[in-house]
Amino acid sequence: MKISYRTCLACDSTWLEGQLYWSDGKIGCPHDLAGLLCNDLKDPDCINPCKGSNSGTTWEHKRYWRDEK
């Protein structure tokens, strides 16, 4: 059995069997990664299949949640 493991050269994100994992080992959402990083980097080498998506968390969302506290 071959396991798929990829690391994005643009942001160093880790993908195991097509699933994004954050640096702490928790499962991540590729839409969140797109909104927080990939869409701003605009790197053609980005491997995030959700690059361009705005359906996840963005820095605007994080600022809103911070300001609401």
CA 26, 42, 39, 45 torsion-angle sign: negative
Q: What is the pLDDT of residues 48-63, one digit of tens each?
A: 999 999 899 888 877 7
Entry pTM: 0.82
**Chain centre distance of CA 62:** 15
Whether the pLDDT of residue 69 is over 70: the answer is no
Residue type, 13: S
Q: CA angle, 6 as apex, 23 and 11 as ends, to 5°?
A: 55
